[in-house]
Chains A and B, each alone.
Chain A
């Protein structure tokens, strides 16, 4: 890839939600297929499971709990999808981008902080013990993953000497960042899984508290939250591509297709991890995050900074 990333007309933004939801739906289908396989059913039955799920949630009535804070609850439920869409605005699709902000990396970080508020609001709004415990669990996890995530994002920005996503992609023409900042990449992926309340970090929606913040949502609200989780996960996977995986760079295929292929591969790994590892308990993870992961991220930034200054 040689030509710089160009900003396209904002009108294209209309298409972004569709692309995002399509990818998210694919991820959900993959998840369904994997679940079907562990249960010993044919893979195909699982692939269609998300559609069945959508249909049943669209038919379902919304049940409101006693003395629920409906306003905040609905804001939390609807917010996840919105945040995911805002996230992918700064992600270039091959040679095109909608908004190459000066501060694209920080923009992504800000949007992921929104999930702090949203998941907690979902847990709070239901006015039920399990849901609230779920919301708190997410927050306590968030305090652990957020700082390492910030430093993991700073590493590529330091290497590119810019917070602009386009510059970060351009800086990877010769060598992808994932190769010389693997620690940052791993921390980033872990944080994406965590801020989507996914897989081993899904304690906020854990089975031990009857689904946590999902315990009391039904109908369209539930659909929005579940879709929002997939969307946020997808957006996280998509952001890994320009920041660590060289954007649209790759042989043969056109750049935009490479972006999608890489996104899907990262997403597939996230989905595959989901049921395969035991829960990482937030109360225990806190110590690990602050004593091991955060210093590791700082060291990574230091190494990157030394290399960049030296080169």
Chain B
């Protein structure tokens, strides 16, 4: 019973803050509304026994939203936060599509005869997850890590306008790189 109340409260918080993201005019409020939505979902995951995943979700998303807020402030310039300007397009079709999808998904969720539960959860779910990714599912983790690493590299390459020739000179022989800002290692 208590769990039910908690769940529905969290559900309301999650969806309401999700809607808030696209309603408020303030960039900071939009970003942190999304963070609240993620926190609510994270707690729901903890309720269904996914302690590690739920808490990791909260950790990652709060971090990401803190960074996201900076990007919002940085790039949105003249934005709805300061001047009430509409930065949307094809609102009506988006709404129709979204509602249509919701009806479809909701119908699916309610009408499909879901099978009964197969198997029982492990006693220590976190440990079982660890064993899974270090055992039978190691390949998945082995794939994720190079993908993440490639993402770091690709992100830097895309975002950074300065290559090594800009930094170290045409013959790469400059002794200290020509950076707009000095680093901490005396380079």
Contact = CB atoms under 8 A, between A and B. Distances in A.
Nearest to A106: B55
B183 A284 contact: yes
B92 to A, nearest CB: 31
Contacts of A284: 182-184
B63 A113 contact: yes
B62 A116 contact: yes
A287 B70 contact: no
Nearest to B56: A106
Given A69-B28, A113-B59, A288 B185 contact: yes
Contact of A136 (B32, B70, B181): B70
B9 interface: no
A109 B26 CA distance: 29
Given A106-B52, A288-B185, A117 B28 contact: no
Contact of A109 (B35, B59, B66): B59
Interface in B59-93: 59, 62-63, 65-67, 69-70
Interface string A200-235: 000000000000000000000000000000000000
B56 A286 contact: no
A64 B124 CA distance: 50
> What are the 6 closest A-B residue pairs judged by CB atoms, nearest first?
A284-B184, A287-B183, A116-B66, A110-B59, A287-B184, A102-B126
12 contacts: A69-B28, A103-B51, A107-B55, A114-B62, A116-B62, A117-B35, A121-B32, A143-B67, A163-B126, A285-B184, A288-B185, A292-B185
Q: How large is the interface on A (under 10, 10 to 19, 20 to 34, 35 or more residues)?
A: 20 to 34
Interface in A116-153: 116-117, 120-121, 124, 136, 139, 142-143, 146
Q: How large is the interface on B (under 10, 10 to 19, 20 to 34, 35 or more residues)?
A: 20 to 34
A178 interface: no
B178 to A, nearest CB: 15
Contacts of A283: 181-182, 184
A72 interface: yes
Contacts, number: 77
B125 interface: yes
Interface string B15-36: 0000000000010110010010
B62 A286 contact: no
Dominant SS among interface residues on chain B: helix
B185 A291 contact: yes
A154 to B, nearest CB: 12
A69 B65 CA distance: 18
Nearest to B125: A102
Interface in A55-99: 69, 71-72
Interface of A: 69, 71-72, 101-103, 106-107, 109-110, 113-114, 116-117, 120-121, 124, 136, 139, 142-143, 146, 162-163, 281, 283-288, 291-292
B67 A139 contact: yes
Contacts of B44: none
Given A109-B59, A114-B62, A146-B63, A103 B184 contact: no
Contacts of A117: 32, 35, 62, 65-66
Contacts of B26: 69
B41 interface: no
A71 B20 CA distance: 15
Contacts of B14: none
Given A72-B29, A139-B70, A110 B184 contact: no
Given A102-B51, A107-B55, A113-B59, A288 B29 contact: no
B115 to A, nearest CB: 28
Contact of B59 (A72, A106, A163): A106
B40 interface: no
A287 B62 contact: no
Contacts of A71: 29
